[in-house]
Amino acid sequence: MFGKAIDAISDQEMEEAIAAHLAWGQTWHGDLPADVFFGIWADLAGKARPLVVTVQLGAPKPVITVPPESPLTVADNRILLDDGRELVLRFVS
Amino acid sequence: MAFRILLPAEFQDVHRQVALAWMLRGHEFNHEEWQVVIRAFDLLKEAAVVTPQGVLPFPVIYYRQVEEPYADSFIQTLLQANEVAQAATQAWVEVATNIPQRLRQAGLVPPNQPAARLLLAYCLYWWYTFAYGYSFEVEILRDLAQSGIQFSAHDLTRRSDRLSGWDLEVSGFRGDIKRSLIFLQTSRGRYLPLAFYIVRLTQDKRAQILVVMMHQAMWDAIDGETTLTTLSNLANVLPTTARVYVSGIEVVVADYALWKRLVHRHQSGR
């Protein structure tokens, strides 16, 4: 799709790539076509779906669950995020 | 420690390829190519150079080698220019031309380390977005002032202000001024935290169009009509003011000139 990798070309080809960038960068400044812009935004926004956590309030303590396909892992009152971080919920009344 | 480049595990061959393709022909990229390159340069924020002196993340190198020495004088050039776009192009290319030499002199792109070219591409990419992002912002701030719009804006000459969460405030609404590429790189996602975004796009053989994307509350305040459409169909509706749902969030997209007229009327109390 894109051709050669940047670390698989000769020094001469790299110099040509720098020169190409310096040339087109003087005439095109980052204004995308409207259809490309909104298309990419739609894709990105579609991927950024919310993660659902359900908390069932009741005795003896609230119960936390996530849907089966969720990337979250629940352990008691702790929610493990898929990047390794942990969210601890404390319930007070 | 020997010199080497540390890359995030998700950084794959396609990202190495798109980094080069962007340098060669970024101005011609299509939808799919932009998606990959935006991801590639996002991932490179987690990359680092390992040197005998220690580990240097790419963003730290970019700051020390590019932004710290060049950003303030670049902004001053924009603010003092009569023709902002022309001055920006000249100042951008002067700095971009220096970046490869500067990185090589600092020993950060050795000739026997081809992977270090990713650092060079990274610095060129982010300098490109910085330079043309702020040139657009200066153009718009000048235009708003000349149009009689009342607003307050952050001080572009101060780095701390440049890093602030919003660029300007209009009638109590906070907003950003973003080139379309930079919007996608920095503000994308399900939730738009600010009330409005002024964005420049192209349409019909690269004719430029300016739009304001805003939350419904701002549009309600300045009183406008909308046409409901979908995000993927929005390009076909412009310049008619459109209302779209982005993952459940309602966003209004209006022509910039119309938005200015309505804001001016709102601020005049008419």
Comparison of pLDDT for B2 and B42, the residue scoring more? B42
- The verdict on residue A43 lying in a domain is yes
Q: Classify B257 as helix, strand or coil.
A: helix
- The verdict on residue A28 lying in a domain is yes
| pTM, full prediction | 0.85
Question: Where in the sequence is the domain holding A60, given as residue range(s)?
Answer: 54-88
Please tell me which residue of chain B has the smallest CA distance to A24.
B27
* Residue A59 per-residue DSSP state: S
- The verdict on residue A70 lying in a domain is yes
Residue with tokens 């738009």: B192
CB of A7 within 8 Å of a chain B CB? The answer is: yes
- The verdict on residue A93 lying in a domain is no
What is the rounded average pLDDT of the residues B178-206?
82
Residue B207 confidence (pLDDT): 81
- Do residues A16 and A34 both lie within one domain? yes
- Do residues A16 and A42 both lie within one domain? yes
Residue B178 — very low, low, confident or very high, per pLDDT cuts 50/70/90? Answer: very high
CB contacts, 8 Å: B193 with chain A: none
CB contacts, 8 Å: A14 with chain B: 117
Quote the distance between the C-alpha of residue A22 and its chain's center: 30
* Residue B268 per-residue DSSP state: T
Interface of A with B in 20-79 (CB under 8 A): 20-22, 24-46, 48-50
- Do residues A59 and A84 both lie within one domain? yes
Count structural domains, chain A: 2
For B55-80, give one letter per residue: b (16+ CB within 10 A) or e: ebebbebbeebbbeebbeebbebbee
- Do residues A20 and A39 both lie within one domain? yes
**Encoded tokens for B61:** 């190198």
- Do residues A38 and A60 both lie within one domain? no
What is the rounded average pLDDT of the residues B153-170?
89
Residue A54 confidence (pLDDT): 85
What is the rounded average pLDDT of the residues B97-121?
95
- The verdict on residue A41 lying in a domain is yes
> What distance in Å separates residue B78's CA from the closest CA in chain A?
15
- The verdict on residue A2 lying in a domain is no
- The verdict on residue A34 lying in a domain is yes
Count of beta carbons in the 10 Å neighbourhood of residue B190:
15
Residue B270 — very low, low, confident or very high, per pLDDT cuts 50/70/90? Answer: low
Identify the weakest region by mean pLDDT among A65-74, B193-202, B256-265: A65-74
CB contacts, 8 Å: B30 with chain A: 36
Residue B111 confidence (pLDDT): 87
Residue B238 confidence (pLDDT): 80
- The verdict on residue A24 lying in a domain is yes
Average pLDDT, chain B: 90
**Encoded tokens for B149:** 């719009």
Q: Classify B12 as helix, strand or coil.
A: coil
Residue with tokens 């990274």: B122
Contact at CB, A29 and B85, closer than 8 angstroms:
yes
Hey, of B3, B20, B33, which one would you mutate to test binding to chain A, going by the most A CBs within 10 A of its CB? B20
